[in-house]
Structure 1
């Protein structure tokens, strides 16, 4: 694994990403608070929806980042792109189904990767005006307050976030859930993977698993989780950066248990 260049101004880039995420939230909120017509969806594929605001937000973020970083690449959920040495990875509205249904659990996710390794990330929840941000191996924050995960919450109070879809391995997901429920985890399905992963970093969820994630769902939150002292394991293939993969994340003391339950997904 190539080390991150010493001269990379990561804290400055993180501050920049926070500002862009907040601006993107301001762009999206009128659509969320507007009429059903404002939140109208079209189908990108089976079970996969998109709104006008997904495109608006991504276009804004893409243009702003390329203006500031012409030597970086951008990969977004809606317009695609590429992954170079330095790559910004965007989910303009993670949880589009929630957004379209008027459910206030969705977010804007911005991640920066260096040679496919998550370096820094921002997950912004406009409904709660909460900003989760982090730099892998350095630190993570919620609205400027440092985040640090407890090692292993006691059994019986462990909250497990999960996502499931008929696109990929639903039976294996339910097998993992059953095993973890028997071990004292209490499952919740939030409908926005990036925000759920940020909640892992904040200690609200103690772990998360999903078999059908994409790089734009994970890149931002992964840096926040790692900055908070947590871990994330994925089946991401750098040779196919737009292909779906499985992800499992959690508090540091739960890794062995989660890896055992999720090994068939990963």
Structure 2
């Protein structure tokens, strides 16, 4: 199977430098808001949106902050957030104020803010910030990916007996689909884990901490920033926006090139050629 890997040509979309600066600044500030909420969290400050889907007060506060910053600086841009929705436009910010809310609610510092900027259907900028560890993963199309300013790249793993991958799941699809994928991956010899934050799972593929991440259905705010990072770090991904993922969500696969075909076979998620 031939797969496309590596950084893409640098974008020429007007205003990207200013949007990159805004993204970097506001994601760090939003992280501080999230960290304050994390430290102050109590059980009665947490509600449930649905089965195993937590909603915290901090979610709403962080999303309102990010929406306000974007509206003040780029009022012509669209906004799509996990909590408040939005209307897609040619220039669109896609935001998950806290990905990993189950971890957040249980005082596990494995959660993040995820922000992607999409122009004309192409993800141009992606940021994922874990304030608990003060780690900022960042990518801009055609300019590579970094963690805290240092260049990162995907792992060079080719042996499934040495591979460590992450498989996310949700109740949006039958459990048997996930169990089948899990069984197939384990049969190939890979170790499988789940960290309960899809955005961080993708960021970890980009910096070589994991060899692959797959989830049979994700929302765009969970994955757009991370998919860009993996591609910019030399990895392989499945198409998402091309399959109307912005409106409907869809299957997500990101991996280092050496194990991507096997992950695709195990999950049934096709790779971008």
Structure 2 length-normalised TM: 0.88
Which residue of structure 2 lines up, in the alignment, with residue 256 of structure 1? 261
Contact 2:10 2:143 in 1 (8 A): no
Which residue of structure 2 lines up, in the alignment, with residue 16 of structure 1? 22
Give ranges in structure 2 of 5+ residues lacking alignment: 1-8
Q: Secondary structure at the match of 2:246?
A: coil
Equivalents in 1 of 2:18, 2:245: separation in Å?
A: 30
- Which region of structure 1 is more displaced relative to structure 2, 55-64 or 250-259? 250-259
Mark the CA change 1:264 to 1:113 in structure 2 (over 3 Å): closer, same or farther: closer
* Distance apart, 1:187 and its partner CA: 0.5
Q: Using CA pairs below 8 Å that are at least 6 residues apart, which structure has the higher relative contact order?
A: 2
Mark the CA change 1:240 to 1:175 in structure 2 (over 3 Å): closer, same or farther: closer
Equivalents in 1 of 2:112, 2:258: separation in Å?
A: 27
The superposition leaves residues 57-111 of structure 1 with CA deviations (integer Å, 9 ceiling, x where unpaired) of 0000011012111121010000000221111100000011110111111000000
Contact 2:168 2:214 in 1 (8 A): yes
Contact 1:87 1:114 in 2 (8 A): yes
Give ranges in structure 1 of 5+ residues lacking alignment: none
Contact 1:135 1:226 in 2 (8 A): no
* Distance apart, 1:121 and its partner CA: 0.2
* Distance apart, 1:117 and its partner CA: 2.2
Q: Secondary structure at the match of 2:114?
A: strand
Q: Which of the numbers 200, 203, 206 marks the counterpart of 2:208?
A: 203
Q: How many residues align?
A: 263
Mark the CA change 1:10 to 1:147 in structure 2 (over 3 Å): closer, same or farther: farther
* Distance apart, 1:147 and its partner CA: 1.0
Mark the CA change 1:154 to 1:11 in structure 2 (over 3 Å): closer, same or farther: farther
CA-atom RMSD, angstroms? 2.2
